[in-house]
């Protein structure tokens, strides 16, 4: 059997994980239940949903002396880390070095394994504040943000970027070098420009170019949907780690498939029974951890739950029913119905 290699980064403190693949930070998708689920299937590491540095700071100002952030501020709730999720980083976004530095100092109490700075989010709401991908147009400010984060952090600081603003301004190499010079411990590169959003094919040559240009580790991201894709990204880009986002939708099983492929093995795809079992497990995780009433909390997982139904016989109709779920019991009935339809079609 081939021995699994390790992926490590960090100067102040070394973070190590299996060199297989990790889960990308995805707002509204990679919640705590989803992260725990993916870790249980072998995700090498996970990252929190994106947290606003400014929102975190101003939320903190409303607290009384001695109160804990974790339960009383919405932004800070995203920073809580469970043992089942580690190794885990907290991802922050912001366009002002001062506020990012303050936020980094504040989240140290949650003992993240690393801090990730989002400089790649293409969403207009984020970009309009000068954060996310907007920073790729301002290397000087981006570097100041990294320096502020490094000063305040006891753990490694990483940066997530894109290939550039648009095809005319593909500056990932220069940008990554600037972040390295500012003290970043690793760089994650999503193989699209901001202009592309999530359309078109990811260009892995841009990831390769960054890897060749910097000395710090590089994580590749974009269009990895199968175990074969993961191995091909490693081979074609030379990246140190692969990060998977949308390829995990309804398919946390992908992580175990990657591990098997890296050992020269193959495993059977999940059966309909396993898919429904894992769907229900995910729903339970979310409901158990939510402070909201069941009928409200379950609304927040309908979309993610529906992804587990993709590919099953009658999936379109089943997914419509999934979007109407109002209780865990209803989810159980839906899972049983999906299995009955699958058996009848065999």
70-77 contact pairs (CB < 8 A, 24+): 70/110, 75/51, 76/106, 76/107
Residue 91 backbone dihedrals phi, psi, to 5 degrees:
-100, 125
**What H or E segment, with its residue span, contains residue 17?**
strand 15-18
Q: Which residues contact 251 (CB under 8 A, 6 or more apart)?
A: 307
Residue 49 backbone dihedrals phi, psi, to 5 degrees:
-65, 155
Residue from 17, 16, 19, 9 nearest 259 by CA = 19
Whether the CB-CB separation of 248 and 23 falls below 8 Å is answered with yes
Q: CA-to-CA distance for 54 and 58, rounded, in angstroms?
A: 6
Let me know if 121 is a catalytic residue: yes
Q: CA-to-CA distance for 310 and 325, rounded, in angstroms?
A: 17
Given 21, 38, 79, 121, which residue is catalytic?
121
**Which residue spans within 236-325 are E strands per DSSP?**
241-244
Rg for the chain, CA atoms, rounded: 20
CB-based burial label for 105 (10 Å; 0-12, 13-18, 19+): middle
Q: CA-to-CA distance for 336 and 287, rounded, in angstroms?
A: 20
- Identify the residue whose tokens are 């402070």: 291
List active site positions.
121
């Amino acid at each position: 059997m081939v021995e699994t290699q390790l992926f490590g980064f960090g100067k102040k403190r070394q973070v190590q994980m299996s060199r297989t693949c990790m889960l990308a930070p995805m707002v509204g998708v990679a919640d705590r239940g989803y992260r725990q689920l993916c870790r249980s299937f072998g995700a090498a590491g996970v990252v929190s949903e994106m947290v606003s540095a400014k929102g975190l700071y101003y939320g903190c100002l409303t607290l009384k002396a001695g109160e804990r952030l974790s339960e009383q501020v919405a932004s800070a709730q995203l920073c809580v880390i469970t043992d089942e999720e580690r190794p885990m980083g907290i991802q922050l976004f912001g366009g002002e070095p001062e506020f990012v530095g303050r936020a980094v100092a504040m989240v140290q109490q949650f003992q993240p394994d690393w801090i990730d700075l989002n400089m790649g989010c293409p969403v207009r709401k984020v970009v309009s504040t000068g954060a996310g991908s907007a920073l790729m147009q301002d290397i000087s400010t981006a570097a100041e943000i990294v320096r502020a984060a490094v000063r305040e952090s006891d753990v490694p600081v990483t940066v997530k970027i894109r290939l550039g603003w648009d095809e005319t301004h593909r500056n990932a190499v220069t940008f990554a070098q600037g972040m390295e010079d500012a003290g970043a411990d690793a760089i994650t590169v999503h193989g699209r420009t901001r202009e592309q959003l999530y359309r078109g094919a990811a260009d892995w040559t841009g990831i390769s170019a960054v890897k060749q240009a910097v000395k710090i580790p590089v994580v590749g991201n974009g269009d990895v949907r199968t175990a074969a894709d993961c191995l091909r990204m490693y081979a074609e880009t030379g990246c140190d780690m692969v990060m998977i986002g949308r390829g995990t939708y309804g398919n946390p099983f992908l992580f175990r498939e990657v591990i098997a492929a890296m050992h020269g093995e193959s495993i059977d795809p999940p059966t309909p029974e396993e898919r429904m079992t894992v769907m229900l497990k995910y729903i339970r995780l979310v409901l158990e951890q939510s402070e909201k009433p069941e009928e409200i909390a379950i609304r927040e997982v309908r979309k993610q739950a529906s992804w587990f139904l993709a590919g099953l016989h009658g999936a379109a109709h089943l997914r419509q029913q999934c979007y109407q779920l109002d209780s865990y019991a209803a989810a159980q009935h839906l899972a049983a119905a999906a299995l009955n339809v699958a058996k009848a079609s065999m």
